[in-house]
């Protein structure tokens, strides 16, 4: 298992990516976004956990503001 603490500046996001074993994201503060290739974009907040299944292409990042 790999664990990382990542912070995004407003409006920043990752490139599209996927993991063979999937990825679990747990939001510890602020408001973020998680998008998938089917066009779904989830707004996530502190306390939310998102599971990206194995092989699913997705991105994650920050909103432009905290609202």
Q: Listing from the earlier edge strand, what are the strands of the sheet with 31-36?
A: 41-45, 31-36, 58-62
3-state SS assignment for residue 44: strand
What CA dihedral angle connects 52, 59, 20 and 24, to 10 degrees?
A: -40
pLDDT per 10-residue tile (average), the chain, 67 residues = 88 96 94 97 96 97 84
pLDDT number for residue 22: 96
pLDDT number for residue 42: 97
d(CA 2, CA 26): 13
pLDDT number for residue 31: 94
**49-59 pLDDT, tens per residue?**
999 999 999 99
d(CA 57, CA 16): 6
d(CA 54, CA 67): 30
């Amino acid at each position: 298992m790999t664990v990382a603490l990542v912070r995004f500046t407003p409006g920043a996001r990752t490139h599209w990516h996927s993991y063979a074993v999937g990825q679990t994201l747990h939001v510890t503060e602020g408001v973020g976004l998680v998008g998938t290739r089917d066009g779904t974009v989830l707004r996530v907040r502190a306390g939310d956990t998102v599971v990206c299944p194995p092989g699913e292409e997705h991105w994650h990042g920050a909103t432009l503001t905290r609202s």
